[in-house]
Structure 1
Amino acid sequence: MEDELEEIRRRKLLELQQKLEEEKLREQQRIQQRLQIKAILRQILTPEARARLANIRLANPAYASQIEALLIQLAQTGQIRERINDEQLKKILSRLGTTRKREFRIIRK
């Protein structure tokens, strides 16, 4: 009986250790991916444009991720030939902003 309990405890401990290792690996992959994104953005954006993107990330992280994905896609397909400055980023944002409108609903009771 006691051996069975010890075996169950050992299995549970092993499972927990495996889950912890998997989580550490996933976290390392997320960090590595984020570093790669930052490196690419550093190559294609001027410091001013990067600062603007950082401000957007503070206000709306999901929107900033969408912009980053778009910029990286443009860079990988060769549509970006030189570094994007702040004014060019503003133009890109304004084009994206026209498709992204917020809807407000007021419910009166």
Structure 2
Amino acid sequence: MADADLEEIRKARLQQLQQQSQSPSGGNASSSDQEASRQQREADQRASILQQILTPDAADRLGRIRLVKESRATDVENRLIMLARTNQLRAKVTEDQLKDLLGAVAEQQEKEESRIVVNRRGGGGWDDDDELEDLLKDV
């Protein structure tokens, strides 16, 4: 990633922090208008960062993924933005690199979804082994 790209990311982040620190005075705009404005600024900043760190093919693929599964696209975007903010990206992310990242996100989500929690009850009640022995005696 070029120094100019990093500088633009830093400027966008600084602007975001400055806007958050300023409190509205007078307050002609309603809180819902302020919330919508804040969300729009965040979306614009995310789009700007993604435009800087993705090749056009990778950005196109991410857009198609968003159409199919928005949560997965958001997870990938969050990871990419985190990598950019921590200066771990050395060049623009290609479509192949994006595919690899998508695979990693999919694996992580599958692991989280496939966890099964078994709660065993202790103490009295019945024992499977005893019932199995009773069934075998009847045979």
Structure 1: gaps of 5 or more residues? 1-17, 104-109
The TM-score with structure 2 as length reference comes to 0.57
Structure 2 distance, partners of 1:91, 1:63, is 13
Any idea what the Cα deviations from partners look like across 1:51-89, whole Å, max 9, x if unmatched?
111111111112211111110000111111100010110
Counting only pairs closer than 5 Å after superposition, residues 11-90 of structure 1 correspond to structure 2 as: 21-90=30-99
Structure 2: gaps of 5 or more residues? 1-26, 115-139
Identical-pair percentage: 32
Amino acid corresponding to residue 99 of structure 2 in structure 1: K
- Structure with greater proportional helix content: 1
- Give me the CA root mean square deviation: 1.5
Residue 102 of structure 2 is matched in structure 1 by: 93
Structure 1 or 2, whichever has the larger Rg, is 2
Structure 2 distance, partners of 1:98, 1:62, is 14
Structure 1 distance, partners of 2:104, 2:41, is 30
